[in-house]
Structure 1
Amino acid sequence: MGIEFNHLYVTLDPDTLESIARSEFISQEFCTISRDTVKTETESWTGTYLRGKHSYIELFPPGGAEGLREGFSGLGFNSQQAGDMDIVRKKIRSLSETQEILSDLQVRETEAGQVPWFHYLSVNPAERGAFASWLMEFHPDYLAYKNIELTREGCFDRAAYLKTLETSETSLFDDISEIHLELTVSEQEELAFLLQGFGYESSGGGDGTTYHSDRFLIRVYQTVSPRYRIRRVVCAIADRPHPEKTFTFGKNARLNLGRSLAIWEFG
């Protein structure tokens, strides 16, 4: 079974979001950036997308999707092969028979009509809660519609998927390797069940808990009433000359660009 981190979203105040969207450094050096509206058969949302070669960051203004308020955030993962979602579901059921598991099919509106997009699974889903985490398994019809080929091993290819969205090959942003969260007790419990279903290991230390797979790490700090759920995002960047500098965007976003990593801080 192979589960990968796919993308995250953060809801920012409008001034901070516009500052990022207008930045020449972001659009010309850091990544491909676009503002898109996505429609499904049941809902729609409008976000600003910072696309790397293997993952992306989705930024919303309050109300960019129904129910979103400043600081609301989420993490999306994807399965590599068909059937992995069923394995995750069974694993979560073996951990607890009382956890509510929601799974359904998301259908996307396209110029060719409605196309099955991906199956998704989440644990104890709330009605557009302050924090969300879910697993996606992309539907073969959508991969065919976008002409996305699987790898030789028959696995979903994140880079091939993002290439269909015209991701720049020369931008700095490559992938996301680490995320720091501030969550309530119940939010952390629900995320922990999902990550255990993926096969993540966990360890405690200091005032937080670390969950990790071979190439991805999540650090969770418990807070009674966090303002922003996603506080830090560590990105791997391309090995090419670039400025080592801190960029500030509005009141709630900062990008610390180092030699081999770029670290976003929110809130």
Structure 2
Amino acid sequence: MIMVIAVTLAAAVQGVQRVQGGVASAAQSQGGQPPSPERQLLYYNHVYGVLDRETADAIERSAYLREFANFEVRTTTGAGGQAWTGRYLLGRETYFELFGVGDLPGPDGVLGAGGMGVSVERSGDLATVIQRLRDQGIADPVEFSQTRDFGDGVPVPWFEAVFTTDRYDAFGAWGMEYRPEYFADPRSDTEPADHPGDVGRERYLSDLYRDHLMRDVTSVRLALTARDLANTVPLLRAGGFAVRSVADGGIVAHGGGTTIRFDAVAREHAGLRQIEMSLNRPVPHRHEERIGHSTLTVGPGARAAWTFPDEPADD
């Protein structure tokens, strides 16, 4: 679930001509600090980032990561036959994907590109999110249906998605709701529903995280352009995140146990900066693992932090 969604979307959807208006609306919302909707509907699901090739290759080869987390490298085929190969660290409810330069097509494979999915836990809640976006002045939220091909050439409905726009500089965020057809397919390796309408993150991910240290993502820090930030804020507010501005022009969004920090930067400095994680058990001593140009620090205690460098993009 990456910006390949947006690549396919751009081919399927007539261009949305709301970018400047969306920026102004989001900026006004940040300044006025209106309260977020009372009930949270969207929760952090996963984030991805495009890293330099040396770091991405080191992540793929790392023996330590295979002990630290439920780690896998896999190729996924989505709508329209778009395929991508990512490095995945999977927790109980949350995860993240890491790519190297060129792993994704076109501008999505450029250093510093990234994206984030935030998902609903109950069937039907995405429709409420879409209405909340309209109430914020996003007249035509961009809706998209993603599929997954398990290798037999027959696409299976995977999830519904909504974007505030199909135009972005380097980062896109989308709201999503998993489809019941996906959970019903035995190849999805998902869990039974805990309650009627359960389309939650914990059901989607396996319990293999229990065999490793990493439990869940607790905090993410991203650097993105002002336009990409402005396009992201309405989605977070519609999902019920508590959003506040910070002194340097960025924002902090919090909800459901995950804090997301966005720093506003020039395009050449955009990218994934840090991921903090909870652990299944405390570790007594600090361990620092250098992986390419990144540093994963584990412990002491039941937390870990992975920091990625600011490597200016060539464009």
TM-score (norm 1): 0.90
Q: Which residue of 2 aligns with 1:195?
A: 236
Q: Hey, what's the Cα distance between the residues in 1 that align with 2:141 and 2:308?
A: 30
Q: Please tell me whether the aligned partners of residues 43 and 120 of structure 2 are also in contact (alpha carbons under 8 angstroms).
A: yes
Matched, 1:55 2:94: yes
Q: Secondary structure at the match of 1:96?
A: coil
Q: Which residue of 1 aligns with 2:203?
A: 160
Matched, 1:132 2:140: no
Q: Which residue of 2 aligns with 1:234?
A: 276
Q: Please tell me whether the aligned partners of residues 149 and 157 of structure 1 are also in contact (alpha carbons under 8 angstroms).
A: no
Q: Hey, what's the Cα distance between the residues in 2 that align with 1:225 and 1:39?
A: 29
How many residues align structurally?
A: 261
Q: Please tell me whether the aligned partners of residues 183 and 226 of structure 1 are also in contact (alpha carbons under 8 angstroms).
A: no
1:141–1:13 CA distance, 2 compared to 1 (3 A): same
1:242–1:114 CA distance, 2 compared to 1 (3 A): farther
Q: Please tell me whether the aligned partners of residues 182 and 226 of structure 1 are also in contact (alpha carbons under 8 angstroms).
A: no
Q: Which residue of 1 aligns with 2:51?
A: 12
Of 70, 93, 102, which residue of structure 2 is paired with 1:32?
70
What displacement does 1:37 show?
A: 0.7
What displacement does 1:242 show?
A: 5.8
**Is there any run of 5+ residues in structure 2 with no aligned partner, and where?**
1-39, 310-315
Q: Please tell me whether the aligned partners of residues 200 and 213 of structure 1 are also in contact (alpha carbons under 8 angstroms).
A: yes
Matched, 1:77 2:118: yes
Q: Hey, what's the Cα distance between the residues in 1 that align with 2:125 and 2:90?
A: 25
Q: Which residue of 2 aligns with 1:149?
A: 192
Matched, 1:179 2:220: yes
Of 275, 278, 286, which residue of structure 2 is paired with 1:244?
286
Q: Hey, what's the Cα distance between the residues in 2 that align with 1:49 and 1:73?
A: 14
Q: Which residue of 1 aligns with 2:32?
A: none
Q: Hey, what's the Cα distance between the residues in 2 that align with 1:108 and 1:152?
A: 25
Q: Please tell me whether the aligned partners of residues 21 and 33 of structure 1 are also in contact (alpha carbons under 8 angstroms).
A: no
Larger proportion of helix: 2
What displacement does 1:243 show?
A: 4.3
Deviations 1:83-125 (A, max 9, x none): 1111111111111145x52111112112452211111111112
TM-score (norm 2): 0.77
Matched, 1:65 2:104: yes
Of 146, 149, 167, which residue of structure 2 is paired with 1:109?
149
What displacement does 1:241 show?
A: 3.4
1:118–1:33 CA distance, 2 compared to 1 (3 A): same
**Is there any run of 5+ residues in structure 1 with no aligned partner, and where?**
none
Q: Which residue of 1 aligns with 2:312?
A: none
Q: Hey, what's the Cα distance between the residues in 1 that align with 2:79 and 2:133?
A: 28
Q: Please tell me whether the aligned partners of residues 52 and 171 of structure 1 are also in contact (alpha carbons under 8 angstroms).
A: no
Q: Please tell me whether the aligned partners of residues 31 and 171 of structure 1 are also in contact (alpha carbons under 8 angstroms).
A: yes
**Deviation larger for 75-84 or 226-235:** 226-235
Q: Please tell me whether the aligned partners of residues 177 and 236 of structure 1 are also in contact (alpha carbons under 8 angstroms).
A: yes
Q: Please tell me whether the aligned partners of residues 8 and 58 of structure 1 are also in contact (alpha carbons under 8 angstroms).
A: yes
Q: Secondary structure at the match of 1:238?
A: strand
Q: Hey, what's the Cα distance between the residues in 2 that align with 1:237 and 1:106?
A: 31
Q: Hey, what's the Cα distance between the residues in 2 that align with 1:97 and 1:114?
A: 30
Matched, 1:205 2:243: no
Q: Secondary structure at the match of 2:205?
A: helix
Deviations 1:10-49 (A, max 9, x none): 1112211121222222112x11221111112311111111
Q: Please tell me whether the aligned partners of residues 151 and 157 of structure 1 are also in contact (alpha carbons under 8 angstroms).
A: no
RMSD in angstroms over aligned alpha carbons? 1.9
What displacement does 1:138 show?
A: 0.8
Q: Which amino acid aligns with 1:60?
A: F
